[in-house]
Amino acid sequence: MKSEPHLALSEPVSDEVRKTTCYMCACRCGIDVHLKDGKVRYIEGNRDHPVNRGVLCAKGSAGIMQHYAPARLRAPLLRTGPRGSGEFKEISWDEALALATGWLDGVRQDDPKKLAFFTGRDQSQSLTGFWAQQFGTPNYAAHGGFCSVNMAAAGIMTIGGAFWEFGAPDWDRTKLFVMFGVAEDHDSNPIKIGISKLKKRGARFVSVNPVRTGYSAVADNWIGIRPGTDGLLILAVVHELLKSRKIDVDYIVRYSNATWLVVDAPGTAEHGLFVRDDNGKPQVFETVTEHVVPLGTKGARAALSGRVELPDGRYAVPSFQLLAEKYLDPQYAPEAVARETGVSAEVIRGLAAEIARVAFDEAISIDQPWTDMNGERHEAFIGRPVSFHAMRGLSAHSNGFQTARALHMLQVLIGAVDCPGAFRFEPPYPKPIEAHPTPHGKAEHFGSNKPLSGPHLGFPRGPEDLLIDAQGRPMRIDKAFSWDAPISAHGLMHMVIANAHAGDPYPIDLMFLYMANMAWNSSMNTAGVIKMLEDKDPATGEYRIPKIIYSDAYSSEMVAYADLVLPDTTYLERHDCISLLDRPISEPDAVQDAIRWPVVEPDRDVRGFQTVLLDLGSRLKLPGFVDSRGKALYKDYADYIVRHERRPGIGPLAGFRGSNGDRAGRGAINPEQLDRYIENGSFFSAHIPLEAQFFKHANKAYQDFAVRMGFFDEPKPVTFQLYQETLQKFRLSAEGLREPVAPETHRERILAAFDPLPVWYRPFEEAAVSREDYPYHAITQRPAAMYHSWGSMNAWLRQIHTRNPLYVPAAICDEIGLVDGDWVWVISHHGRIKVEAARMEAVNSSTIWTWNAIGKREGAWALDKDAPEAKKGFLMNHLIHELLPPKGDGMRWSNSDPITGQAAWYDLRVRIEKADRAEVSEPHFSALAQPGGERPHVDELRYGQEWAK
């Protein structure tokens, strides 16, 4: 027998490894980019990186194909054909920037609100927001409004932080993990790492989700809930816990507003507000002396129940009494909610029992003394090892804000916020509402040629902070912070095009978009939006939305609708900053931020958008972008990252500050800062001392740490707001008791939705349409291997999801005689789509679903015209209207949460009918031309063949 062939097994992988940060999604894992002969040989996870600890998802590993995709834009583009044709000519950067500057400058002189600047998958919101503020338009937001503002706002307003990116389960200690409505989430690799840890330890993992794929597939228990009813399920659990007295009384007394007295004086302007003294301090009832005293009075033992008479003769009750009375009501009993939620009473009771058992019978303790904000010393951190996580399954409903609040209330009641084993905050969170700005954009906040007087986005403390004019009309183009959506803390990006097209509240001149595929998957009613973008005013022959500037890196559907396209680099070609001022990547134990840097040079005439934005800022001579002589302050984005300061000593990056690079958080500018990051693997991590790691909302050591790091200039502890006073203020306005008074049209809905205690109401679309006509829910899920619309240009990823079937519950298939491969009409109150169906059993019996954003417009993304993505792929968005069905009240309400304006993607109700077999899904749109000229057809790829051994 011959010997085996000799193999060269120890060949070096690459010539060089460059460490940077992935941007195939917003998880922002650390990557080791292996370069060979100047090309990317291999991308793997950075083992030292705190986010991903070496692992990488499919998208991250497919970075090579993203980076070399034919869909990359090559040069600035000026539209030559009509909007939507995809016909452009490539122009120089000088031309492009001169044109953009001209357009922008005109608007700024004339009326800055005529610029709407909205950004999508943006990870540099601190820069884009700053730019918009210096420009002076009130019309700026990022994508949060259509994404998950319900989650963010409810979290921040209740516990001072949210699940979204501001906290995480204590994966190493939790014994029961309950996840609501998550398919992938932003934290996708950490969640996978975490779930795997739980399983190894034998901790229980419960997933509440209508569809049992992905994470839900490996959950110990799957609760296949009916969409939009989680609030009821959670409140039923609260009911059970109250009834059986499984409440952490000590915890709620210390850390929440449970003891705060609430005025009980119906019909007055103070009804339902907290009793406060002249200093604004909330009052509690002291049970020993039987006196009403200010919160924090030494030795006071505050009551949780009882009705007390105030010195002025009015009555008040501790907020907890209102809470307990509300949820002890039999309407929240498991039996009472079983039908609506589709979850059996036994399962609800079992869930409540497990939560109670683990929280109280399996409590854990970390022997580390610590001191709370009242100066009281504790010998240990006591942990209630029950943790929760939730994402868009809760938040993308019109009742999502209150549902998310219900979940946070549950966490607080069992004492499971930021203790060992529970959900834990990630710095710079928790942050009390007082530490957030109020929104700016009232008439007095802006004007010709001057900056907006403060940040655009924030949290109104009451109706007085709304951005409305004297008649109560919205000031912002997206109608954020108006009566339509008073606490729309992230804006309403999904309404911008519709409102701008309608000229309601006013027309705009220029729409400037960045990284958002608004002509496709991030719009509701996509076909309608396309029409609006194409629509011209017959009088002038001009487009209704006169000018559109867009920055994308690839030939997305949206590119075809821009007049001027500013081509971005890929994520491997530019500087980026993942900042604590923005959407940070901290962990519960550590403060973290990161950068990207050009690990390869662009081979096209493209520029990093942030650098372009800085350039535009200096051409426009915006304050903060030019010095007193009008000279540009920053050479490029890298320079900005290093030298920009928001407050003295505080800049985009927290790490390696100070002239020696040894300061964290606060410190002088360090010119070598980026080099230090690169040496460190492109991230910075500062550990929180053990003493400061838990109970951050009330932990003195943590608060001091936060001040040292520069999150705050003085300690900012958080008291959990079980009872939400701000919401009550809106109710008082709706009752006509408080100024400004809510318009008649809005009163009913504010009274119903703005309950200061979490409530559940039926999602608006479901309530508005007939259950018989539209018997099913229709939702989407994120596929793990695709990021929204970008995956399809990636030769490797697109093979996994070349098209998307509509998954239909087995019972419905049997009822209408569907087999895999049959076609169906899916019909909503707004439209119909014709798509290919497939059978599924492991799904809620009234829910059909598909993978999100697989369907593509023919001609986009440099795909061949007959690509299955365009032929058989489809978007659910065609069925979702940005407005609710008419109610007969003369109003067309936005299809959003009434509090935050969060787009209610998952409220969709449909029916399905069997259709004839087909080759092309409907609706089908005309093909887009490849911007800047057709790309040659690629028959075959053999990436890496030159290195074949």
Partner 1 sequence: MHPAPSIILFTTLSGLGYGLAAVLGLGLLDASGLSVKVAHLAALAMIAGGLLSSTLHLGNPQRAWRALSQWWSSWLSREGVMAILTFVPLTISAWFAVVEGGYQPVAGLVGAAMCGITVYCTAMIYASLRSIQAWNTGFTPLCYLLFAGAGGFLLASVAGYASGAGGTVCAVIAALFVVAAWLAKHQWWTRLRALAPLSTPESATGLGNIGRVRLFERPHINDNYLTREMGFKVARKHALKLSRLAILAGGAMPIVLLIVAIVAGGGAVAVIAAMLAVLLYALGLAVERWLFFAEARHAVMNYYGG
Partner 2 sequence: MTLLPSVPTPRKLGLVIDLDVCVGCHACVISCKEWNTGGYGAALSDQDPYGADVSGTFLNRIHTFEVVPEGGQVIGEAGEARIVHFPKSCLHCEDAPCVTVCPTGASYKRAEDGIVLVDESKCIGCGLCAWSCAYGAREMDLAAGVMKKCTLCVDRIYNETLKEVDRVPSCVRTCPANARHFGDLADPGSEVSRMVAERGGFDLMPEQGTRPTNKYLPPRARKPLAASAGAAVLAENTDGAKGFFAWLDGMLDRI
Ligand X SMILES: Nc1nc2c(c(=O)[nH]1)N[C@H]1C(S)=C(S)[C@@H](COP(=O)(O)OP(=O)(O)OC[C@H]3O[C@@H](n4cnc5c(=O)[nH]c(N)nc54)[C@H](O)[C@@H]3O)O[C@H]1N2
Enumerate binding residues for partner 1 (CB under 8 A). 799-803, 840, 868
- Residues contacting residue 616 through CB under 8 Å, at least 6 positions apart: 97, 100, 101, 104, 131
Q: Which helix (H) or strand (E) holds 408?
A: helix 400-413
Considering beta carbons, is residue 386 or 533 the nearer one to partner 2? 386
Considering beta carbons, is residue 391 or 606 the nearer one to Mo ion? 391
Minimum CB–partner distance for residue 189 and ligand SF4 (Å) = 5
Residues in a beta bridge with 542: none
Q: Single out the residue of 89, 357, 436, 643 in contact with partner 2 (rule: CB under 8 A).
A: 357
Question: Under the criterion CB under 6 A, does residue 572 sit at the interface with ligand SF4?
Answer: no
Residue nearest to ligand SF4 (CB): 60
Find out whether the peptide bond into 602 is cis, omega within 30 degrees of 0: no
Considering beta carbons, is residue 751 or 800 the nearer one to partner 1? 800
Side-by-side strand order, sheet with 176-180: 221-223, 204-208, 176-180, 386-390
Question: Under the criterion CB under 6 A, does residue 60 sit at the interface with ligand SF4?
Answer: yes
Question: Under the criterion CB under 8 A, does residue 536 sit at the interface with partner 2?
Answer: no
Question: Under the criterion CB under 8 A, does residue 25 sit at the interface with partner 2?
Answer: no
User: If we measure between CA atoms, which residue out of 226, 235, 537 comes closest to residue 413?
Assistant: 235
- Three-class DSSP category at 443: helix
Question: Under the criterion CB under 6 A, does residue 40 sit at the interface with ligand SF4?
Answer: no
Q: Which helix (H) or strand (E) holds 910?
A: strand 909-915
Considering beta carbons, is residue 353 or 800 the nearer one to partner 1? 800
* Partner in contact with 147, chosen from partner 2, partner 1, Mo ion, none, beta carbon below 5 to 8 Å by kind: Mo ion
Minimum CB–partner distance for residue 799 and ligand X (Å) = 16
The interface mask with partner 2, positions 468-507, x = CB under 8 A, is ----------------------------------------
Side-by-side strand order, sheet with 590-596: 576-578, 590-596, 683-687
Considering beta carbons, is residue 77 or 515 the nearer one to ligand X? 515
Question: Under the criterion CB under 8 A, does residue 457 sit at the interface with partner 2?
Answer: no
Classify strands 386-390 and 176-180 as parallel, antiparallel or unpaired: parallel
Q: How many residues of this chain interact with ligand SF4, rule: CB under 6 A?
A: 13
Considering beta carbons, is residue 2 or 245 the nearer one to ligand SF4? 2
Classify strands 564-567 and 77-79 as parallel, antiparallel or unpaired: antiparallel
Question: Under the criterion CB under 8 A, does residue 797 sit at the interface with partner 2?
Answer: yes
Minimum CB–partner distance for residue 800 and partner 1 (Å) = 6
Cα separation, 469 vs 831, in Å, equals 35
Considering beta carbons, is residue 802 or 845 the nearer one to partner 1? 802
Considering beta carbons, is residue 77 or 797 the nearer one to ligand SF4? 797
Of 449-457, 564-572, 604-612, 788-796, which part binds partner 2 (CB under 8 A)? 788-796
Phi, psi of 551 (to 5 degrees): -115, 120
Minimum CB–partner distance for residue 42 and partner 1 (Å) = 21
Question: Under the criterion CB under 8 A, does residue 377 sit at the interface with partner 2?
Answer: no
Cα separation, 651 vs 644, in Å, equals 6
Position 575, amino acid? H
User: If we measure between CA atoms, which residue out of 506, 510, 503 comes closest to residue 441?
Assistant: 506
> Which parts of 154-213 interact with ligand SF4 (CB under 6 A)?
188-189
Find out whether the peptide bond into 740 is cis, omega within 30 degrees of 0: yes
- Residues contacting residue 896 through CB under 8 Å, at least 6 positions apart: 398, 484, 485, 492, 494, 495, 902, 903, 904
* Partner in contact with 143, chosen from partner 2, ligand X, ligand SF4, none, beta carbon below 5 to 8 Å by kind: ligand X
Count of residues making up the chain: 949
Q: Which residue has the tokens 């930021």?
A: 418
Considering beta carbons, is residue 404 or 854 the nearer one to partner 1? 854
Question: Under the criterion CB under 8 A, does residue 245 sit at the interface with partner 2?
Answer: yes
Between CA 509 and CA 518, with CA 514 as vertex, the angle to 5 degrees is 80
- Three-class DSSP category at 640: helix
Between CA 36 and CA 43, with CA 42 as vertex, the angle to 5 degrees is 130
Minimum CB–partner distance for residue 214 and ligand SF4 (Å) = 10
Phi, psi of 407 (to 5 degrees): -65, -40
Considering beta carbons, is residue 618 or 850 the nearer one to partner 1? 850
Minimum CB–partner distance for residue 9 and partner 2 (Å) = 4
DSSP secondary structure code for residue 784 in this structure: T
Minimum CB–partner distance for residue 787 and ligand X (Å) = 5
- Residues contacting residue 575 through CB under 8 Å, at least 6 positions apart: 595, 596, 597, 598, 608, 610, 611, 636, 637, 638, 641, 674
Query: Residue 414 in contact with residue 246, Cβ under 8 Å?
Result: yes
Of 158-166, 196-204, 549-557, 686-694, which part binds partner 2 (CB under 8 A)? 196-204
The interface mask with ligand SF4, positions 348-367, x = CB under 6 A, is --------------------
Residue nearest to ligand X (CB): 393
Query: Quick one: 631 exposed, middle or buried, by C-beta within 10 A (0-12, 13-18, 19+)?
Result: exposed
* Partner in contact with 803, chosen from partner 1, Mo ion, partner 2, none, beta carbon below 5 to 8 Å by kind: partner 1
Considering beta carbons, is residue 139 or 781 the nearer one to ligand X? 781
- Residues contacting residue 548 through CB under 8 Å, at least 6 positions apart: 83, 510, 511, 512, 513, 533, 561, 562, 563, 564
Minimum CB–partner distance for residue 23 and ligand X (Å) = 7
Q: Which helix (H) or strand (E) holds 264?
A: strand 261-264
Q: Single out the residue of 22, 31, 33, 64 in contact with partner 2 (rule: CB under 8 A).
A: 64
Q: Single out the residue of 704, 841, 889, 913 in contact with partner 2 (rule: CB under 8 A).
A: 841
Q: What is the 3-state secondary structure (H, E, C) of 281-341?
A: CEEEEECCCCEEEECCCCCCCECCCCCEECCCCCEEEEHHHHHHHHHHCHHHCHHHHHHHH
Query: Quick one: 467 exposed, middle or buried, by C-beta within 10 A (0-12, 13-18, 19+)?
Result: buried
Minimum CB–partner distance for residue 838 and ligand X (Å) = 16
Q: Single out the residue of 28, 121, 239, 326 in contact with ligand SF4 (rule: CB under 6 A).
A: 28
DSSP secondary structure code for residue 757 in this structure: S
Task: Write out the residues near ligand X by the rule CB under 6 A.
Answer: 25-26, 120-121, 143, 146-148, 180-186, 188, 208-211, 225, 227-228, 230, 391-393, 397, 514-517, 521-522, 551-554, 556, 558, 568, 571, 609, 779-782, 784, 786-790, 852-853, 876-877, 905-906
Residue nearest to Mo ion (CB): 147
Question: Under the criterion CB under 6 A, does residue 145 sit at the interface with ligand SF4?
Answer: no
Question: Under the criterion CB under 8 A, does residue 374 sit at the interface with partner 2?
Answer: no
Side-by-side strand order, sheet with 261-264: 261-264, 315-318, 308-309
Minimum CB–partner distance for residue 836 and ligand SF4 (Å) = 25
Classify strands 547-552 and 564-567 as parallel, antiparallel or unpaired: parallel
User: If we measure between CA atoms, which residue out of 149, 140, 216 comes closest to residue 180?
Assistant: 216
Q: Single out the residue of 18, 20, 22, 830 in contact with ligand SF4 (rule: CB under 6 A).
A: 22
* Partner in contact with 940, chosen from Mo ion, partner 2, ligand SF4, none, beta carbon below 5 to 8 Å by kind: partner 2
Angle (deg, nearest 10), helices 230-243 and 345-356: 60
Question: Under the criterion CB under 6 A, does residue 791 sit at the interface with ligand SF4?
Answer: no
The interface mask with Mo ion, positions 140-179, x = CB under 5 A, is -------x--------------------------------
Terminus-to-terminus CA distance in the chain, angstroms? 25
Tokens of 858: 């023919």
Minimum CB–partner distance for residue 810 and partner 1 (Å) = 10
> Which parts of 803-842 interact with ligand SF4 (CB under 6 A)?
none
Position 942, amino acid? R
* Partner in contact with 799, chosen from partner 1, Mo ion, ligand X, none, beta carbon below 5 to 8 Å by kind: partner 1
User: Interface with ligand SF4 by CB under 6 A: which residues?
Assistant: 22, 24-25, 27-29, 52, 56-57, 59-60, 188-189
User: Interface with Mo ion by CB under 5 A: which residues?
Assistant: 147
